[in-house]
Amino acid sequence: MAAKKGQEILVVASKVREYIKSKGCLTSGELVPALSSKLRCCVDGAIARAKANSRKTVSAKDV
């Protein structure tokens, strides 16, 4: 599930790579856009939940 062309990356790539490296692994060039796409889906779901509960504030409980 790669990020669509033109979509902004939502994660800090250097921090993701640093974390993965600290665990003794390497990072594929495709990982960051795919991770960003997953995060976008998660956040969209949280937004939908907040709206369904008549709120404009997205909270941790919505995730």
Q: pLDDT tens-digit profile of 14-58?
A: 999 999 999 999 999 999 999 999 999 999 999 999 999 999 999
Question: Checking phi first, is residue 11 left (phi over 0); if not, alpha (psi -120 to 50) or beta?
Answer: beta
Residue 15 inside a domain? The answer is: no
For the cut 70, the answer to whether the pLDDT of residue 59 exceeds it is: yes
**Domains held by the chain: number:** 1
Residue 45 inside a domain? The answer is: yes
Residue 10 inside a domain? The answer is: no
Residue 39 inside a domain? The answer is: yes
Contact 27, 14 (CB under 8 A): no
For the cut 70, the answer to whether the pLDDT of residue 1 exceeds it is: no
Residue 6 inside a domain? The answer is: no
Residue 4 inside a domain? The answer is: no
Q: What is the DSSP letter of 56?
A: S
Residue 43 inside a domain? The answer is: yes
pLDDT score recorded for residue 5: 67
For the cut 60, the answer to whether the pLDDT of residue 60 exceeds it is: yes
Residue 13 inside a domain? The answer is: no
Question: Checking phi first, is residue 24 left (phi over 0); if not, alpha (psi -120 to 50) or beta?
Answer: left
pLDDT score recorded for residue 19: 98
